A and B are shown apart, each in its own frame.
Chain A
Amino acid sequence: EAQVTQNPRYLITVTGKKLTVTCSQNMNHEYMSWYRQDPGLGLRQIYYSMNVEVTDKGDVPEGYKVSRKEKRNFPLILESPSPNQTSLYFCASSLALSSYEQYFGPGTRLTVT
């Protein structure tokens, strides 16, 4: 089954404790991205990757890091999480840029206390 998986689905952590949210796709997609979704602000892109070892900042990259060492995986790293990073996070992938369907993962709800 074609899918994007994220782990964990739910995470409660404390300020400053490094964490990684994993994302994996099994569709051989080149383009992957991370979004955060907040009430009243909608979906905002954090980082995206056009291929292995090629990443770039989206609209809200501060406080986040990503890596793309393999085509299928695109982890999101929060090295020192803060309460303002409490949000719902989505990973997405698509075959290529522009006009192609974005396949979204099920989301990770992160709470930073």
Chain B
Amino acid sequence: TQLLEQSPQFLSIQEGENLTVYCNSSSVFSSLQWYRQEPGEGPVLLVTVVTGGEVKKLKRLTFQFGDARKDSSLHITAAQTGDTGLYLCAGWVGSGYALNFGKGTSLLVTP
């Protein structure tokens, strides 16, 4: 069951540009996480958001959790080639035990 929809699926931009990727659902999530995955490796956690309306910043990355806890966004300012990768959102619904992943946004940043 794909509870989390990510958009866009693919994104190709030049270094220095800003971008936003989205993670949406019709379900309420108790918490939501963003991971980044590079080719040939497992995903690595970037951030966890727990409270509706929460905003977290990680250097040039800004993460927002929607007020209703059904959606989230990731904004990257002044993208760098090192930001290239697959960005995945993941979350738990209520008190469920299974972690649900979106299909991911594949980001390519070119010089």
Q: A48 is contacted by which of B30, B40, B90, B98 (Cβ under 8 Å)? A: B98
Give the CA-CA distance A35 to B42 in the complex, in Å.
Answer: 11
Query: Mind listing 24 A-B residue pairs with CB under 8 Å?
Result: A35-B101, A40-B103, A42-B102, A42-B103, A42-B104, A45-B101, A50-B97, A56-B97, A56-B98, A59-B1, A59-B98, A90-B42, A98-B31, A98-B92, A99-B30, A99-B31, A99-B33, A100-B48, A101-B45, A101-B48, A102-B43, A102-B90, A102-B99, A104-B42
Q: Which residue of B lies closest to A44 (CB)?
A: B101
A43 to B99 alpha-carbon distance, docked (Å): 10
- Bound-state CA distance A50–B2 (Å) is 22
* Interface residues of B, Cβ cutoff 8 Å to A: 1-2, 30-31, 33, 35, 40-45, 48, 50, 88, 90, 92, 95, 97-104
Q: Which residue of A lies closest to B91 (CB)?
A: A98
How far, in angstroms, from A93 to B30 measured CA to CA in the complex?
Answer: 19
Q: How far is the CA of A101 from the CA of B31 in the complex (A)?
A: 11
Q: Which of B33, B35, B95, B98 contacts A45 (CB 8 A)?
A: B98
Q: A42-B103, A99-B50 are in contact. Are A107 and B41 (CB under 8 A)?
A: yes
